């Protein structure tokens, strides 16, 4: 089930003419979505549709309520042109960010503005129907808070860690309890189109669509959290590999004599540098008597986690900073391999922003 704009359900005509119209409308809507307010001349240039046809399609879209007249633009010789923009409240997109210990549900309008966000701390990821149904309830709860009815939801985008086959909506690492695809299960429960991908690839897509990679063609986006994820944009397109397993950067071999990784191999990059390993190394050293700001934290009976480590680093704990530096060297070695292999235009390092935001909110 693909995302469907509300107006598409009411189009009439033969199958072929409907399809052609839908494509033309989508070109206009997608131009306005990614570029903001535009004149007919701007749309003609980008959509490569004739001027009279664009004018008539724009008139249709105004009639449907999906776009609005938004004012008058600058003159480029002659009369100043009318500008058109998307009606932000025409439909909404739900973003769901599944993590091992937290869940974020956010609602965006068609101007990509955040209109609502709920964060659920201690929402432990479990491979169960109960977890998934609770997740669906959280989505419905957020929508009902804003009085958004079902048909106003364009799609739900789900970001989940682990191996994901986005094309077939399959999650191979988490939420594998269902025999059908996870996205089909969610779609049946929610009644909306569900698009799902691995968290690092979702970040890369976001950076490409709206962020630092907007005007770049070949970009690597590293998700540094408990593990190491990699989203690859090649020639302006997200690269997922044959089964959607591309980007397992954390599992390239760095140390053949190293530790056993949870993936079953020896000496993966993630056994040397990752949030989880940073926490493990620091905890072990503190148990052996290493002085650190975290020593007292542990003595109080609290468990050291990534959040506590980041807090200690921000507070200037020298031992935690040294450990992070040591890990950065391994990460650097891994990155050199990627650079040789893919010759990217840009590498974006996305540290676990949620951890930092939580710390800042607590202070």
> Which residues contribute to the site for Zn ion (CB under 5 A)?
251, 261, 263, 265, 268
For the chain, the straight-line distance linking the first and the last C-alpha, in angstroms and rounded, comes to 44
Q: Which is nearer to Zn ion, 270 or 317 (CB)?
A: 270
Starting at the edge strand that comes first in sequence, how are the strands of the sheet with 103-109 ordered?
Answer: 114-120, 103-109, 92-98, 153-160, 194-198
Query: Chain-centre distance of CA 29, in angstroms?
Result: 21
Rounded to a whole number of angstroms, the minimum distance from the CB of residue 253 to Zn ion is 9
C-beta atoms surrounding 76 within 10 Å: 9
Q: Which is nearer to Zn ion, 106 or 252 (CB)?
A: 252
Rounded to a whole number of angstroms, the minimum distance from the CB of residue 232 to Zn ion is 18
Beta bridge partners of 82: 72
Q: Are 37 and 58 in contact (CB under 8 A)?
A: no
CA separation for the pair 358, 335 (Å, rounded): 28
Q: Which is nearer to Zn ion, 196 or 272 (CB)?
A: 272
Rounded to a whole number of angstroms, the minimum distance from the CB of residue 334 to Zn ion is 12
Rounded to a whole number of angstroms, the minimum distance from the CB of residue 259 to Zn ion is 10
CA separation for the pair 233, 214 (Å, rounded): 11
Rounded to a whole number of angstroms, the minimum distance from the CB of residue 157 to Zn ion is 27
CA separation for the pair 210, 189 (Å, rounded): 30
Nearest CA to 200 among 324, 278, 99? Answer: 99
The H-or-E segment that residue 116 falls in is strand 114-120
Beta bridge partners of 116: 107
C-beta atoms surrounding 152 within 10 Å: 15
Q: Which is nearer to Zn ion, 219 or 277 (CB)?
A: 277
Beta bridge partners of 158: 96, 196
Q: Which is nearer to Zn ion, 265 or 298 (CB)?
A: 265
Rounded to a whole number of angstroms, the minimum distance from the CB of residue 268 to Zn ion is 3
Q: Which is nearer to Zn ion, 268 or 308 (CB)?
A: 268
Count of positions (residues) in the chain: 363
Rounded to a whole number of angstroms, the minimum distance from the CB of residue 148 to Zn ion is 41
Q: Which is nearer to Zn ion, 308 or 331 (CB)?
A: 331
Rounded to a whole number of angstroms, the minimum distance from the CB of residue 125 to Zn ion is 19
CA separation for the pair 326, 278 (Å, rounded): 10
CA atoms within 13 A of residue 141's CA, in its CB half-sphere: 13
Q: Which is nearer to Zn ion, 238 or 261 (CB)?
A: 261
């Amino acid at each position: 089930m693909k995302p469907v704009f509300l107006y598409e359900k009411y189009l009439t005509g033969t199958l072929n003419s409907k399809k052609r119209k839908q494509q033309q409308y989508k070109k206009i809507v997608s131009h306005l979505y990614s570029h903001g307010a535009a004149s007919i001349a701007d749309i003609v240039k980008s959509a490569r549709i004739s001027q009279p046809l664009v004018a008539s399609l724009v008139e249709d879209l105004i009639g449907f309520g999906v776009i609005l007249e938004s004012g008058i633009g600058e003159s480029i010789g002659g009369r100043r042109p009318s500008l058109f923009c998307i009606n932000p409240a025409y439909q909404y997109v739900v973003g769901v960010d599944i993590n091992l210990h937290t869940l974020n549900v956010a609602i965006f309008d068609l101007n990509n503005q955040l209109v609502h966000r709920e964060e659920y701390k201690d929402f432990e990821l479990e491979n169960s129907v109960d977890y998934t149904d609770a997740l669906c309830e959280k989505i419905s709860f957020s929508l009902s808070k804003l009085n958004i009815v079902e048909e106003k939801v364009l799609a739900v985008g789900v970001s989940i860690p682990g191996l994901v086959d986005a094309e077939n909506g399959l999650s191979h690492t988490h939420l594998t309890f269902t025999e059908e695809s996870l996205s089909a299960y969610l779609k049946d429960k929610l009644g909306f189109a569900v698009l799902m991908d691995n968290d690092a690839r979702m970040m890369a897509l976001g950076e490409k669509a709206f962020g630092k990679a907007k005007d770049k063609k070949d970009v690597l986006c590293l998700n540094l959290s408990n593990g190491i994820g990699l989203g690859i944009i090649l020639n302006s397109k997200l690269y997922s590999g044959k089964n959607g397993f591309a980007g397992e950067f954390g599992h390239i071999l760095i140390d053949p004599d190293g530790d056993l990784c949870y993936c079953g191999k020896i000496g993966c990059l993630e056994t040397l540098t990752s949030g989880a390993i940073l926490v493990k190394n620091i905890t072990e050293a503190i148990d052996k008597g290493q002085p650190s700001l975290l020593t007292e934290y542990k003595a109080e009976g609290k468990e050291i986690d990534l959040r506590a480590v980041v807090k200690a680093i921000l507070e200037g704990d020298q031992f935690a900073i040294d450990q992070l530096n040591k890990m950065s060297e391994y990460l650097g070695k891994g990155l050199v391999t990627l650079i040789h292999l893919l010759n990217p235009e840009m590498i974006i390092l996305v540290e676990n922003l949620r951890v930092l935001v939580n710390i800042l909110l607590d202070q």
